Each structure stands twice: as structure tokens, then as C-alpha cells.
Amino acid sequence: MRLILLGPPGSGKGTQAQRLVHRHGIVQLSTGEMLRAAAAAGTAVGLQAKEIMANGGLVPDEVVVGIIADRIEEPDAKKGFILDGFPRTVPQAEALDELLRKKHLKLDAVVELRVNESALLARVEKRAEETRARGEEVRLDDTPEVLTKRLAQYRSLTEPLIHYYSERRKLLTVDGMMTIEHVTREINRILTALGALEPKEHEEPKIASKASRTAKKTAKTATRKAAESAKKPAKPARKAARVASKPVSKAKAAKKTTKKAAKQPAKKTVKKTAKKAAKQAARAANARKGAKAAKKAAKKLTKKRAKR
């Protein structure tokens, strides 16, 4: 991962650079530190820079680019780096592009931390007031007056750079007025989306971005819907199976009814005959009773006549 962080003084650029270094194992390359290190190491480019700085001059772009070229060849920069303080101008950006092309390297992104300058000035004024209230001396470079000059210089140098990298689709803008934690999350989110970062394994939930959580939720929903869709065809299949089984059930019922019907005539005949015999027996019994009653009545009548 190879990045450039752009941002005015007070935007938190240094803080975010250190977080990226710690999190992803890349190195932060500061032009000032690189110049001093090259001079101390006694390299050809370093000695040239040392002489220019000793005379109070500005180190030419080609010298700075030469120092960067040597630095990114070192082992600790193989995994990636963040350039801090370079490029500051469009010619420097062009020189950097040429250097990376020669080394067959690619710049992944330029992250701009955009801030509200009025809010930054108000923040510095408040900090200066609190420092004075504690009886401490305010640093010369930490006053509203100095910050105003530095912001004006930043605008004049950086606005062309923003346009330069925007045209090349390298510029990514982050709201630098968010909390430090939110800015870190947003930077990691956009770098991951670009493919410049691999999602970190065993990442703590509090560091996971909102976009990542939303993506997981969306994936779960899609999986659930796919499972439901897969189950839906099973209902018509079950219905078809029931319909297909109905003729078999009806055939069984018909067979059973036929057997029952075959048995019914014999049973009905027996019952009918028995009923008829019972009626005939009842009529015979009634006839006998009637005969006995008639016989008895005739005897009584005969007795009465004999007495007369």
C-alpha cells in the first residue's frame, strides 16, 4: 500500500499516518526526516542535500526525489509507505509519478483530510487561551496568526495538487472534522473498498466500519431469501404428490366399497327372512290367543244358558 496524505496544519494528518503505520505495518516517510537521515548516512544525495541546507537554501525537487528513491528501496518500505510532506507542488507530483513508473510501483491513493478552517482557528485560539490560563507560554507556531499564514500557504500549494490527483482518479476526500476514531474508520473503509487493504482478521467489533456491518447484514438477508426461494418449489411438488396419490386412494376406497356391497345382499336377505318369520310367528301366537279367548267365552255362555 502506497499513500499520500494531504491536509492543512491541524487536520490530524500526522495522527492518521501513525495509525496506518501501526495498523498495517507500513512506514511513514517524512521528507525532513529523510533529508536529515540521508545527510547523516553520507549518501551522495544526502551530502548534496546537507550542503544546500547548511547554506540555508531550499533542497531542489530532484534531490528530494533522489532521497525518496533510495529510501523506498529499503526493506521496511517494501510492504508500503505513506508520504508526509511530499509532494507539495504539481512538479513534485509529476516527478514522483515518474519515479514510481521507473520502479514499477503504483500509488494506491491520495487521501485528503478536508477541514473547516474557521473551526481550526477557533480550536487554536481556545488552546492558546487554556495554555495562558495555566500560566504556560504559548508556542510561537501554535497561534491563530501563524496558523492563518500556514493555511494560506497550504491552499496556494495544495489546491493544484487536489485537481492533479482528482483528474487521475487517485483523490479520496475524508471529513477531517469527525472524531479521530471516525476518520480512521473512514480511511480504512475506502482503502479496503479500493483493494489497497485486506480486511484485518479477528478485527475488534468497535473498529469494524458501519459499511462492513451493513454488508454482512445484506449477505445474511440474501442468503435467507435464497433459502426461502429454494423451499418454495417444494410446495407445488408436495401438492402434486398429493394429487397424484388421490386416484390411488379413491381406487382403494372403491375396492373396499365393492367388497362391502358384495356382502350386503346376503345379509339383507337373512334379515328380511328372519323378520318375516317373526311376524308370522307373532300372527300365529295372536291367533291361538284369540281362539282360546273365544273358546272360553263360549263356555261361559253355555253355562249361563244351562242355569236358566
Rounded Cα–Cα distance for residues 14 and 26 (Å): 14
Concerning whether 149 is annotated as a catalytic residue, the answer is no
For this structure, is 88 an active site residue? Answer: yes
Q: Which of 139, 242, 259, 300 is catalytic?
A: 139
Q: Which residues of 102-125 are buried (b: 16+ CB within 10 A; e: fewer)?
A: eeeeebbbbbbbebebeebbeebe
CA distance 193 to 199: 10
For residue 13, indicate whether it is catalytic. yes
**CA 16 from centre of chain:** 24
Which of 13, 50, 170, 185 is flagged as catalytic?
13
Cα 117 to Cα 177: distance, rounded to the nearest angstrom: 10
Answer whether the bond into residue 87 is a cis peptide, omega within 30°: yes
* 199 C-beta neighbours (distance < 10 Å), count: 10
> Among residues 23, 114, 150, 189, which one is catalytic?
150
Please tell me which residue in 19, 23, 88, 114 is annotated as part of the active site. Answer: 88
Q: For this structure, is 139 an active site residue?
A: yes
Phi (first) and psi of residue 3, to 5 degrees:
-130, 160
- Which residues are known catalytic residues? 13, 88, 127, 139, 150
